[in-house]
Chains A and B, each alone.
Chain A
């Protein structure tokens, strides 16, 4: 079974609107971390946001928030007020187990922001 599943290969959003990128994960370990990364066309991988499995509140970082639904094993990324510069590939990732555990990445979602 896939550890991380991103079911949206590509998405479009209108500039200034909010968009949700889906991510589901699979683990039986009670301790894990969830991450989102952005990869623009230039190729670098940029860390966006982190959520720990024991965190009670959803993580937020500026315009990014992580909608963490533990029972459903989902960790969707919400980008508010989309900007043209948000057009990129977005990867969901999970660190399984305690710190220094192995990372698993999803296949990514390509987001296009339309002016």
Chain B
């Protein structure tokens, strides 16, 4: 158990809908990262937050947004869902002083868009 929690574990929804994925980082970790893993594109970095502030953006679509709250948990919002958004979404957390900023991953949320 990495100490990073993600909810829900599974999510099935329809095209055009909006969903929210939640992540709680390890205790003491200030940084949260979001990744999308699909079969054809591997692990894609979406966005990073550090202590509530957006730190880096990757291949995140405009239909997706995220935020990190004062208690350091983070939410990833996916809207106007398309079939291609079906994927495993990971949250990871890290703290600067730990092993070169090693990221520890949550169990992931498997999103299926029908």
Contacts and interface: CB of A to CB of B under 8 A. Distances in A.
A binds B: yes
Interface of A: 33, 35, 37, 43-47, 50, 52, 91, 95, 99-108
B28 interface: no
Interface residue range, chain B? 20 to 34
- Interface hub of B2, B105, B110 (most chain A Cβ within 10 A): B105
Contacts of B103: 35, 47, 103
B68 to A, nearest CB: 14
Nearest to A42: B107
Contacts of A47: 2, 102-105
14 contacts: A33-B100, A43-B88, A45-B105, A47-B105, A50-B99, A99-B100, A99-B101, A100-B31, A100-B96, A102-B45, A102-B48, A102-B56, A102-B58, A105-B45
B18 interface: no
Query: Which secondary structure dominates chain B's binding surface?
Result: strand
Contacts of A50: 99-100, 102
B33 A95 contact: no
A2 to B, nearest CB: 11
B84 to A, nearest CB: 19
A43 B42 contact: no
A33 B42 contact: no
Task: List the 10 closest A-B pairs by CB distance, nearest first.
Answer: A45-B105, A33-B100, A105-B43, A99-B101, A99-B96, A50-B99, A102-B56, A52-B100, A107-B42, A44-B107
B54 to A, nearest CB: 12
A100 B99 CA distance: 12
A37 B102 CA distance: 10
Contact of A95 (B42, B50, B101): B101
A100 B50 contact: yes
A55 to B, nearest CB: 9
| Residue among A45, A100, A105, A107 with most chain B CB within 10 A | A45
